[in-house]
Structure 1
Amino acid sequence: MKPAFTHLALHVLDLEACIAFYRDYCGLTLVHEREDGDAKGGSRVVWLAEPGKEKDFIIVLLPGGPGRDQAEDDFSHFGFALESKAAVDAIAARAEKAGCLAWAPRQESYPVGYYCGLKDPDGNFVEFSYGQPLGPGS
């Protein structure tokens, strides 16, 4: 059997703020929660997933991270596909009002498409795109 990519785990500085961000902006839901006495900085560990994809891929958030000071020219990011350019514009407008817009919407050549970037509460970049060959709009 070939390996299957099932999850990504992040130590985060503010667990509650990160849960709220990924719920509000990315549409993820809390699908599992447990206490872990070995977790650095706290004991609550949460799993977030897209509705209906809880057995395919999750983001695990662990408390006690140092926070991330990602440089503006470091384009490491999490990517979420949206259904239209208007949806990208709408999420960018929300993020700008909230003070977490990192990259204004822009159009790039295929396969990048139309996208914007936000910074999550821990300092990670999160991209929202339309027109990539992945997800909705592909």
Structure 2
Amino acid sequence: MRPTLTHIALHVPDLDACVQFYSRFCAMRVIHERAGKGSRIVWMAEPGKEHAFIFVIMPGGQDRQLAADDYSHFGFALASREQVDAIAAQAAEAGCLIWAPRDEPYPVGYYCGLRDPAGNYVEFSYGQPLGPGSEAMPIP
């Protein structure tokens, strides 16, 4: 048996705000919506990855109050440092930037962090041995 990670399911306090956040900052799109337990359930995925990995977003969650030094997060890779800077600038303007762009030793790389409307942290990175351009990088 070899399990495959296919999705993460999140209960959130404001479904529409989270859908807008993941659409705007993560380029995810709604691939499925349905009624569920008196509300609606939304599936979101990155284009081209609809059959590999999705976020299932449902209403009814509490706002997460993560500590400033809590690095629990969802990680998204970008193709350049400039793209990290662009996301950080958009997030600062929207009031959801929590970690300004910073450089860390390999394998962490260059990254910034945002807070989604449910309180989850979302990292955008470049230079990790994951994501765009990572095929040539060794995983430590």
Work out which of the residue numbers 128, 132, 135 in structure 1 matches 2:131.
135
Instruction: Measure how far apart 1:137 and its partner are.
Output: 3.2
CA contact (8 A) 1:48 1:59 kept: yes
Alignment TM-score, normalising by the size of structure 1? 0.95
Q: Determine the structure 2 residue equivalent to 1:51.
A: 47
Unaligned 5+ segments in structure 2 are: 135-140
Q: Determine the structure 1 residue equivalent to 2:16.
A: 16
3-state SS of paired residue (1:127) = strand
Identity of aligned residues (%): 66
- Distance in 2 (CA, whole Å) between partners of 1:22 and 1:83 is 18
CA contact (8 A) 1:12 1:64 kept: yes
For residues 38-77 of structure 1, the aligned pairs below 5 Å read 42-77=38-73
Number of residue equivalences: 134
- Distance in 1 (CA, whole Å) between partners of 2:118 and 2:71 is 15
Instruction: Measure how far apart 1:67 and its partner are.
Output: 1.3
3-state SS of paired residue (1:60) = strand
> After TM superposition, where is structure 1 displaced by more than 2 Å over at least 4 residues in a row?
none
- Distance in 2 (CA, whole Å) between partners of 1:120 and 1:81 is 17
Letter in 2 for 1:12: V
Letter in 2 for 1:94: Q
CA contact (8 A) 1:111 1:131 kept: yes
Q: Determine the structure 2 residue equivalent to 1:118.
A: 114
Work out which of the residue numbers 81, 86, 98 in structure 2 matches 1:85.
81
Unaligned 5+ segments in structure 1 are: none
What do you get for the CA RMSD once the two structures are aligned? 0.8
Deviations, residues 53-104 of structure 1 (Å, cap 9, x unaligned): 1000000001010111111111000000001000000000010011100000
3-state SS of paired residue (2:90) = helix
